[in-house]
A and B are shown apart, each in its own frame.
Chain A
Amino acid sequence: LAKTTQPISMDSYEGQEVNITCSHNNIATNDYITWYQQFPSQGPRFIIQGYKTKVTNEVASLFIPADRKSSTLSLPRVSLSDTAVYYCLVGDPNSGGYQKVTFGTGTKLQVIP
Chain B
Amino acid sequence: ETGVTQTPRHLVMGMTNKKSLKCEQHLGHNAMYWYKQSAKKPLELMFVYSLEERVENNSVPSRFSPECPNSSHLFLHLHTLQPEDSALYLCASSQDWGGNSPLHFGNGTRLTVT
Name A's B-contacting residues (CB within 8 A). Answer: 32, 34, 36, 41-46, 49, 91, 93-100, 102-106
Contacts and interface: CB of A to CB of B under 8 A. Distances in A.
Contacts of A100: 45, 48, 56
Contacts of B97: 96-97, 99
A99 B48 contact: yes
A44 B107 contact: no
Interface in B82-97: 88, 90-92, 94, 97
B98 to A, nearest CB: 6
B105 A45 contact: yes
B76 interface: no
A49 B100 CA distance: 9
Contacts, number: 66
Contacts of B33: 99
B108 A41 contact: yes
19 contacts: A34-B102, A41-B108, A42-B107, A43-B107, A44-B43, A44-B105, A45-B105, A46-B104, A49-B102, A93-B98, A93-B100, A95-B98, A96-B56, A97-B97, A97-B100, A98-B100, A99-B48, A100-B45, A104-B42
Nearest to B44: A102
Interface of B: 2, 4, 31, 33, 41-45, 48, 56, 88, 90-92, 94, 97-108, 110
Contacts of B103: 36, 44, 46, 99
A20 to B, nearest CB: 17
Contacts of B100: 32, 34, 49, 91, 93, 97-98
A95 B56 CA distance: 12
A103 B42 contact: yes
Contacts of B48: 99-100
A102 B43 contact: yes
Contacts of B42: 102-106
Contacts of B31: 99
A43 B102 contact: no
